[in-house]
A and B are shown apart, each in its own frame.
Chain A
């Protein structure tokens, strides 16, 4: 069976044409690098994505900080991870790299802060 993929790994966004049999790749054309092979393999067996969102911050110069997952998570877990992120609040100051949720839902990925928010000086 033929199936088209748009590789999302880098901005090249290669259009990859794959000849597949179930989860097995028979042939691939259109990818500019080996990452395309990995991407299609993963799409067929265990599609994963990264997500970014926000977490409320109290006592900071901004009401929010931004967060992201450190490793990609299974596609069908995206909204479950969003639920976990939405339960959290942080107290300023927060800084980039700070772990908000370690190993979120046992998915081998941390949710980390991606924006420094200093505390308001009174």
Chain B
């Protein structure tokens, strides 16, 4: 099978990209999705707050997804569900297995990587202790409760203050569980302030900053965890340990872009974002392979995932029409106080968006983008926190053809 544009993953990024491709006149589009229905992680995110930027309305995840799915159906865009991609090559040959179509080989002119991200697990943290049942990542617990109608436990401890963990603290409380506390190793929360307020404070769930779980107890089922205070270098302080009885430990300790397929296609990854190196057209180092959404860098809001995927799709459409896009020569460098920045290479011929995160919470700062000592963009912010993605829109023609573009927060 030959196809102009193959989209891997039918979540928010893939759906938005497909619609924009179609709008730009690309007809031969195929979305490959491994789950039985489109929508990705939004299917299990039943809380509201989605779409405030895009639709000026507070929707639940499934409603937000359905708006795109309905448009996909109306536009007649082809998709396969229960179809898992197992390989992508540098020549853009996609191998997939499908429940209904068997083994598939598709040659694509452009590949759009929109696989999203996965959760860090207990293994990634190397928490000592036994290995009882009752230890879940927040997204897995969310899937059990919201998709499969299975309650995960009664007495809950949450490690990590990522947004999904906060959302689950509230969800578990509403379903009758007792959430004893949220423990965060960092001295500040990882999730958005509004989620601290409406998911923890509203239900009197304590948030313990600079604390982590240092031991897990129980044989068949979790019996409890030992928590301890941590010092500035995030090491547990001896003598501060305390035992907390619980039957469930929920981990909300970070997300990792899902890039196994990207690697098989020879796509180079940035060690900071754990997503691909891309230029301002969202093209990776492999010509014709593009990436956007959480597979590229973890976003705070789905609205921004959709917007980024649409920007990518517009560039994919012009790539398919004109044949090639040139990789820019200007490297984008994450400078002082900046954790990472996307894209990593630009040429500056057209308007582009820089997306970045700060390393630690800061107040009254300026986002400064400079090339060869010349400021090309500056934005004042009253507060900047790692939980929030910051964007800077740079106008076409602002850049010189040579010289690194340094992004700093001062």
Chain A interfacial positions (CB closer than 8 Å to B): 6-11, 13, 15, 30, 49-54, 56, 61-64, 66-68, 75, 78-79, 82, 96, 114-116
Residue with the highest number of chain B CB atoms closer than 10 Å, among A9, A11, A63: A11
Query: Does B148 sit at the interface, judged by CB under 8 A?
Result: yes
By the criterion CB–CB under 8 Å, are B197 and A62 in contact?
no
CB-nearest residue of chain B to A63? B149
1/0 contact string of B38-69 vs chain A (CB within 8 Å): 00000100111100110000111011001000
Q: What's the nearest-Cβ distance from chain A to residue B196, in Å?
A: 7
Q: Which among A15, A96, A115 is the interface contact of B383 at CB below 8 angstroms?
A: A15
Chain B interfacial positions (CB closer than 8 Å to A): 36, 43, 46-49, 52-53, 58-60, 62-63, 66, 145-149, 174-175, 192-194, 196-198, 202, 300-301, 382-383, 388
By the criterion CB–CB under 8 Å, are B300 and A78 in contact?
no
Write out the residue numbers on chain B whose beta carbons fall within 8 Å of the beta carbon of A79.
Answer: 174
Write out the residue numbers on chain B whose beta carbons fall within 8 Å of the beta carbon of A54.
Answer: 46, 145-146, 149
By the criterion CB–CB under 8 Å, are A66 and B174 in contact?
no
By the criterion CB–CB under 8 Å, are B66 and A8 in contact?
no
Q: What's the nearest-Cβ distance from chain B to residue A25, in Å?
A: 18
Q: Given the complex of chains A and B, what is the CA–CA distance between A75 and B203 in angstroms?
A: 10
Using known A-B contacts A11-B52, A54-B146, determine if residue A6 contacts B58 with beta carbons closer than 8 Å. no
Using known A-B contacts A7-B194, A13-B192, A115-B43, determine if residue A52 contacts B48 with beta carbons closer than 8 Å. yes
Q: Which among B48, B53, B174, B196 is the interface contact of A82 at CB below 8 angstroms?
A: B174
Q: Which among B66, B146, B147, B198 is the interface contact of A116 at CB below 8 angstroms?
A: B66
By the criterion CB–CB under 8 Å, are A50 and B62 in contact?
no
Write out the residue numbers on chain B whose beta carbons fall within 8 Å of the beta carbon of A115.
Answer: 43, 46, 60, 62-63, 66
By the criterion CB–CB under 8 Å, are B148 and A63 in contact?
yes
CB-nearest residue of chain A to B59? A114
By the criterion CB–CB under 8 Å, are A66 and B58 in contact?
no
Write out the residue numbers on chain A whose beta carbons fall within 8 Å of the beta carbon of B194.
Answer: 6-11, 13
Q: Given the complex of chains A and B, what is the CA–CA distance between A52 and B50 in angstroms?
A: 13
Using known A-B contacts A6-B196, A49-B202, determine if residue A64 contacts B47 with beta carbons closer than 8 Å. no
CB-nearest residue of chain A to B42? A115
CB-nearest residue of chain A to B47? A52
Write out the residue numbers on chain A whose beta carbons fall within 8 Å of the beta carbon of B196.
Answer: 6
Write out the residue numbers on chain B whose beta carbons fall within 8 Å of the beta carbon of A82.
Answer: 174
By the criterion CB–CB under 8 Å, are A8 and B197 in contact?
yes
Q: Given the complex of chains A and B, what is the CA–CA distance between A49 and B301 in angstroms?
A: 20
Main secondary structure of the interface of B (DSSP, over half): mixed
Using known A-B contacts A6-B197, A82-B174, A114-B46, determine if residue A11 contacts B60 with beta carbons closer than 8 Å. no
Q: What's the nearest-Cβ distance from chain A to residue B175, in Å?
A: 8
Q: What's the nearest-Cβ distance from chain B to residue A10, in Å?
A: 5
Q: Given the complex of chains A and B, what is the CA–CA distance between A107 and B350 in angstroms?
A: 51
Write out the residue numbers on chain B whose beta carbons fall within 8 Å of the beta carbon of A61.
Answer: 36
Q: Given the complex of chains A and B, what is the CA–CA distance between A9 and B192 in angstroms?
A: 12
Known A-B contacts: A56-B149, A115-B60. Give 18 more (CB < 8 A).
A11-B53, A11-B192, A11-B194, A11-B300, A15-B193, A30-B382, A52-B46, A52-B60, A62-B147, A67-B46, A68-B60, A78-B174, A82-B174, A114-B60, A114-B63, A115-B46, A115-B63, A116-B62
Q: Which among B48, B197, B382 is the interface contact of A50 at CB below 8 angstroms?
A: B48
13 residue pairs bridging A and B, Cβ less than 8 Å apart: A6-B193, A6-B194, A11-B194, A11-B301, A13-B192, A52-B46, A53-B175, A54-B146, A64-B148, A66-B46, A66-B60, A114-B46, A115-B43
CB-nearest residue of chain B to A82? B174
Q: What's the nearest-Cβ distance from chain A to residue B91, in Å?
A: 38
Residue with the highest number of chain B CB atoms closer than 10 Å, among A8, A30, A96, A116: A8
Residue with the highest number of chain B CB atoms closer than 10 Å, among A63, A75, A114: A114
Write out the residue numbers on chain B whose beta carbons fall within 8 Å of the beta carbon of A49.
Answer: 198, 202
Write out the residue numbers on chain B whose beta carbons fall within 8 Å of the beta carbon of A51.
Answer: 174
Q: Which among A10, A62, A63, A96 is the interface contact of B66 at CB below 8 angstroms?
A: A96
By the criterion CB–CB under 8 Å, are B383 and A75 in contact?
no
Q: Given the complex of chains A and B, what is the CA–CA distance between A13 and B47 in angstroms?
A: 17
Q: Given the complex of chains A and B, what is the CA–CA distance between A17 and B47 in angstroms?
A: 27
By the criterion CB–CB under 8 Å, are B174 and A96 in contact?
no
Residue with the highest number of chain A CB atoms closer than 10 Å, among B46, B58, B196, B383: B46
- A-B residue pairs, 4 tightest by C-beta: A66-B46, A13-B193, A115-B62, A13-B194
Q: What's the nearest-Cβ distance from chain A to residue B15, in Å?
A: 15
By the criterion CB–CB under 8 Å, are B66 and A53 in contact?
no
CB-nearest residue of chain A to B304? A11
Q: Given the complex of chains A and B, what is the CA–CA distance between A49 and B58 in angstroms?
A: 12
